[in-house]
Amino acid sequence: MSQLPRDVPASHYQSAAQRRLQRTRVDAPYRPGDPILRGLNLTKRFLMGTAPVYAVRQTTLEIKPGEFVLVVGPSGCGKTTLLNLLGGLDRPTFGEVVLEGQPYSKLDENGLARLRRNKVGFVFQFFNLLTDLTAEENVMLPMQLVGLSPAKTRARAAELLAAVGMAERAAHSPFELSGGEQQRIAVARALANSPTVVLADEPTGNLDRKSGTEIIGLFRRLNREFHQTFVVVSHDLSFTEHADRVVHMEDGQIVKVEAKTA
Amino acid sequence: MSAMAAAGERAPGGRLVASWRRVAGLILPLSWRGVRRRKAGAALTALSLALGVATFLLFGGYFAATRQAVEGRIEPLALPADLVVAVGVDSPGGVPGGLPGGGPAGAPSIVQTLNRLPDVKTATGMVVGTAYTSVGRRRIIGLDEKVLGGLKLGAGAPPMTAGEVLLPQTLAAAGGIKVGSQITIATDMGGVWREQKFSVSGLYQGDDFFSGPLARREALAPLGLGPVDNAALVEAYPGSSRPGVASQIRSLYRDSADVLIPEFPASLAGSWLGQAFSPGNVAVFMVFTFSGLGVMNVLLLSFLQRKRQMGVFKALGMDDSDLKQLFFGEGLYVAAAGAALGMVLTAVLVALLGRLTSVRFIISGWLAAWALVLSFAVFALAAWLPAVLCQRASVSVLLQNKRIYLDPKTSCAECGRCGGF
Ligand SMILES: Nc1ncnc2c1ncn2[C@@H]1O[C@H](COP(=O)(O)OP(=O)(O)OP(=O)(O)O)[C@@H](O)[C@H]1O
Ligand SMILES: [Mg+2]
């Protein structure tokens, strides 16, 4: 991967990125076994005042179905930004994201919202449960958004809460739950619509070691039992043993990929 | 997990049914949760709207009652007039509890009422005629002999010459004036004061609609107001320019020999603009604007405090219409509460004022309907800005609780000089 200077003119950058992109077929029909999630030549530029900051620079990452990928790297290296791009929470400055053959650039904001609703599950560092709702209602919301019938929604919420070991706390408000418990609810919520991929940004960052290990263990179990694909961002290098692949980032770029041969 | 395959399945029913079910079954309950969560804030917002609604209803009801009272006084007068002229920015003619200096309500309807009287050939509005007497601000009215003769006299006699006037007993009593007193009547003639001395020939009974000095129509000639056959002065609106009005009238009444009064705002009396800018309406409009801006600010702040929550909603896949409905739903609940509270407040105030003072209100269904429409309009408008901001901001920016801009894509966010939201 060529090392790009931090501040190159946008025009130069764009043409380079686009040339690369043209060689990659982004709209090829998805075939089972292909990478389900592909981030291609992703670049994200932010402006701090007038100075551009490249949070992610020409980064390509492909995720295979059923894979458990851990993204690690120092603070500020662009992990969150990359994850946001992969999840359609933000648009890349250049580059393309393709989920199951669907390029994000072909979708408008509402289309992207529908894609997130149906195919992407998110777990955040600060849990981000909706505090107006109970634990169960938090888990039900994504299913209600896709229009699942109330009976099925309720049944599946119960199933998910049981799967994350939170069946007894269904009626509780997030305020009444510990951090670890809240994160379990968030995991159940992320899984609600059987997403193609679950993206987790520092899911253990706000938890003590024990709860953090439990959450990663939960991820690993869901990954093994249901072939759920996970991309997890973490500071914590001790989780690398759980991952199929460990992606090291530095300064907006992927610098090393460790794959475990099964 | 077999149920996993079931996710994403659509509920049965047509598109419209589905979207309604989504709004009623999911979005509105979420809005309601949001409102309930911020009980105190929502209550304050509803209260500020309630004050707006009550002001609107009280003003409207007061004007309706005033109009009815004024109109009620015209019929018994049964003026056999050829021409009835509506004039002035005076106190509402003899209406109990009238606002000092406030314009009378509904001059067009007064003119209409006058026109329905059997002997009136033409009734219309006019701007001149506000008179300041030595005993207070009143209009001087020039009447035909037979009308003057038909008045119920309390003392003295009808004016026999141009230099004599009849005063209402109440006015005379207030000014310490007796039959035979000399009074000066000054009339504003387009910025020029014309003064005339009159002697009081008699006092007439009743707190009637004119409530001013009555003279022979010839007496008004020096003031430039006559002679006019059977002229009677009624009420009209402020804010018209007399030269403009005069030329309008000249063109309107080119062939009419009877109409000698130059200023004659026939168009003004019926003009929508003239009505819309009456002082009462302006006051009500301002009250509504203020309460509307307050409501807007509160809704905006409550949104800005919940950026992260909105980010979560968007991350979970809420689209633009979901978000819009969410905000409009919140507005709807507060607007409904505010409108209801406002109506209750109005009812209480009307009852209280009715008991303690002589002020009356007529609050029609239409007025209440307008209050409702305005309340919901205020909230629809107030919900619009947060909805747009939320739609335009990227999910990651909302989740990070960063500043958001109306136009995040182009130079607006990059410039950032306004500070965003
Ligand atoms: N909205 C933004 N505006 C401007 N700069 C941003 C924005 N978001 C991220 N950045 C910058 O992009 C770079 C990468 O940020 P990012 O949050 O992706 O890092 P990270 O690897 O997730 O860090 P951490 O481990 O601390 O969470 C940082 O230099 C950050 O300051
Ligand atoms: Mg981060």
Confirm or reject CATH 3.40.50.300 for domain A64-91+106-259, answering yes or no. Answer: yes
Q: Which atom of ligand 1 is nearest to the CA of A74?
A: 25
Torsion angles phi and psi, residue B43, rounded to 5: -65, -40
User: What is the pLDDT, as a whole number, of residue B414?
Assistant: 61
B72 touches chain A (CB under 8 A): no
- Listed by start position, the domains of chain A span 64-91+106-259
| Region class of B181: left (phi > 0), else alpha (psi between -120 and 50), else beta | beta
What's the pLDDT tens digit per position in A30-73? 777 788 999 999 999 987 767 888 999 999 999 999 999 999 99
Torsion B323-B329-B331-B334 (CA) sign: negative
Element (H, E) at B111: helix B107-116
Q: What is the DSSP string of B158-225?
A: ---STTEEEEEHHHHHHHT--TT-EEEEEEEETTEEEEEEEEEEEEE-S--SS-S-EEEGGGGGGGT-
Q: Which atom of ligand 1 is nearest to the CA of A56?
A: 14
Asked whether residue A221 carries a pLDDT value surpassing 80, the answer given is yes
Query: By CA distance, what is B12's nearest residue in A?
Result: A149
Q: What is the mean pLDDT of each run of 10 residues along chain B (421 residues)?
A: 42 71 88 87 88 87 69 43 38 29 39 55 38 43 64 84 80 75 60 64 69 66 43 35 37 34 30 48 74 80 88 94 91 91 94 83 88 88 87 89 74 64 76
Q: What amino acid is encoded at B84 in this protein? A: V
- Using the 8-state DSSP alphabet, how is residue A260 labeled? -
Is the overall model pTM greater than 0.95, yes or no? Answer: no
User: What is the pLDDT, as a whole number, of residue A130?
Assistant: 93
B312 touches chain A (CB under 8 A): yes
Residue whose token pair is 């991929």: A197
Helices A135-145 and A150-163 pack at an angle, to 10 degrees, of 130
Residue whose token pair is 């709807």: B332
What's the pLDDT tens digit per position in A112-137? 999 999 999 999 988 899 998 999 99
3-state secondary structure A96-161: EEEECCEEHHHCCHHHHHHHHHHHEEEECCCCCCCCCCCHHHHHHHHHHHCCCCHHHHHHHHHHHH
Contact status, residue B329 vs residue B26, Cβ threshold 8 Å = no
Chain B: closest CA distance from residue A132 (Å): 6
Q: How confident is the model at residue A24 (pLDDT cuts 50, 70, 90)?
A: low
Contact status, residue B159 vs residue B213, Cβ threshold 8 Å = no
Q: What are the tokens at B96? A: 């109990």
Asked whether residue A214 carries a pLDDT value surpassing 60, the answer given is yes
Could you tell me which of B7, B34, B13, B8 has the C-alpha nearest to residue B330? B34
Q: Which residues in chain B have Cβ-Cβ distances shorter than 8 Å to A192? A: 7
Q: What amino acid is encoded at B111 in this protein? A: V
Q: Which residues in chain B have Cβ-Cβ distances shorter than 8 Å to A146? A: 7-8, 10, 317
Kindly determine whether residue A145 and residue B394, on different chains, have CB atoms separated by under 8 Å.
Answer: no
Helices B320-356 and B28-37 pack at an angle, to 10 degrees, of 60
Kindly determine whether residue B7 and residue A146, on different chains, have CB atoms separated by under 8 Å.
Answer: yes
User: What is the pLDDT, as a whole number, of residue A32?
Assistant: 75
Classify B295 as helix, strand or coil: helix
Q: From ligand 1's centre to the CA of A52, what distance in Å? A: 12
Is the CB–ligand 1 distance for residue A78 below 6 Å?
Answer: yes
Asked whether residue A15 carries a pLDDT value surpassing 80, the answer given is no
User: What is the pLDDT, as a whole number, of residue B213?
Assistant: 72
Asked whether residue A259 carries a pLDDT value surpassing 80, the answer given is yes
Q: What is the DSSP string of B306-370?
A: THHHHHHHHHTT--HHHHHHHHHHHHHHHHHHHHHHHHHHHHHHHHHHHHHSS------HHHHHH
Kindly determine whether residue B22 and residue A159, on different chains, have CB atoms separated by under 8 Å.
Answer: no
Q: Give the pairing type, strands A37-48 and A94-99.
A: antiparallel
Q: What are the tokens at A39? A: 């981030």
User: What is the pLDDT, as a whole number, of residue B187?
Assistant: 52
Query: By CA distance, what is A142's nearest residue in B?
Result: B316
Q: Which residues pair with B155 in a beta bridge?
A: B203
